[in-house]
Amino acid sequence: MNEIVKTTSRTPIEVLLKIDEEGYTTARNLYEFLELDKKNYSRWSKTNIINNPYATESDDYFPFVINEECGGQATTDYKLTSDFAKKLSMISNSKRGEQARDYFIAVEKKLKEKVENEIIRLENELKEAHKND
């Protein structure tokens, strides 16, 4: 009855992208989210991260070396900022990339609706205030 409910400030897309508490995910997490062919990870990361003209190492991404399994070949992964991971998800030509774009469009529509409603509320308050003067 007295259960503690754990809340998060992460948005649904941040949960899906596995954004951590510091605001980062990995390129492998993003690649997995996008459901892309595992064989093409290296080429995808080179094209979309390393050679991305709109991304800067140490600002948007941070390379690090991992071993897939004990004794496995060393491979590079990238720590991605939340914003950069979201940008990459939006440019992906995949079903999940389309879902990410739809998500951001829906969020923007909802925000516009809230702003419009707030403007109407404030206008009504001003009218009432002037009526009472």
Read off the DSSP letter of residue 22.
Answer: T
Give one DSSP letter per residue of 24-83, joined into a string.
Answer: EEEHHHHHHHTT--GGGHHHHHIIIIIT-TT--BTTTEEEEEEESSTTPPEEEEEEEEHH
**Which residue type is seen at 67?**
N
| pLDDT tens sequence across 15-54 | 999 999 999 999 999 999 999 999 999 999 999 999 999 9
Global pTM? 0.81
**78-101 pLDDT per residue, tens:** 999 999 999 999 999 999 999 999
